[in-house]
């Protein structure tokens, strides 16, 4: 299984989010209009804001319900996913950003991380030092025999 490539959007929720459910399957769908600021890098290394675009963002399944509890108009977000074109109920072609993940932007949002144990298998195995995962294993010193010519 390879690494999934996609698009990342950094923006803000520009309108009140909505949670709907599919009539056919009952699948939850989080919808929000998002604004994305665009910047241009100048030759001196500074950045100049050029414009702002607006896009439809959709997130489905269990993440949709979680997002509805978490996000409000004005919140800064980071989303991963892809742009997809679809035909809406009126027959018009539209484009939306179908998010796989949606998270608060940690650069502009104060976050608290809940480190309480989660249900399921323990993340920490007793007796295992996680720091060891990043250390090079001990290897015996290599001894070299002196090179001899003509033997």
Check residue 84 and give its pLDDT: 96
32 inside domain: yes
Instruction: Give tens-digit pLDDT for 40-52.
Output: 999 999 999 999 9
Total number of domains constituting the chain: 1
CB 57 within 8 A of CB 79: yes
Helix (H/G/I), strand (E/B), else coil: 66: helix
Give me the domain span that covers residue 105.
7-110
Q: What percent of the chain has pLDDT over 90?
A: 67
Token output for 110: 């104060």
Q: Maximum CA pair distance of the chain?
A: 89
- Report if residue 144 sits inside a domain: no
Which DSSP symbol is given to 133? G
Nearest Cα to Cα of residue 59 among 31, 36, 17 = 31
Asked if the structure places residue 119 within a domain, the reply is no
Q: What is the CATH number of the domain that holds 21?
A: 2.40.50.140
When the pLDDT of each residue in the chain is averaged and rounded to a whole number, the result is 86
- Token readout for 151 is 């033997």
In a domain, 78, yes or no: yes
Distance CA 140, CA 87 (A): 65
What pLDDT is stored for residue 116 in this prediction? Answer: 82
């Amino acid at each position: 299984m390879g690494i999934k490539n996609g698009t990342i959007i950094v923006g803000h929720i520009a309108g009140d989010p909505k949670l709907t459910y599919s009539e056919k399957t009952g699948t939850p769908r989080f919808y929000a209009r998002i604004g994305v600021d665009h910047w241009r890098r100048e030759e001196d290394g500074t950045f100049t804001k050029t414009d702002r675009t607006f896009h439809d963002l959709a997130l489905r399944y269990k993440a949709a319900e979680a997002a509805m509890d978490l996000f409000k108009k004005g919140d800064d977000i980071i989303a991963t996913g892809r742009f997809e074109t679809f035909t809406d109920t009126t027959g018009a072609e539209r484009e939306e950003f179908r998010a796989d993940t949606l998270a608060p932007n940690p650069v502009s949002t104060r976050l608290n991380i809940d480190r309480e144990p989660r249900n399921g298998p323990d993340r920490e195995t007793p007796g295992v030092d996680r720091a060891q995962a990043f250390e090079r294993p001990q290897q015996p010193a290599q001894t070299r025999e002196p090179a001899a010519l003509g033997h």
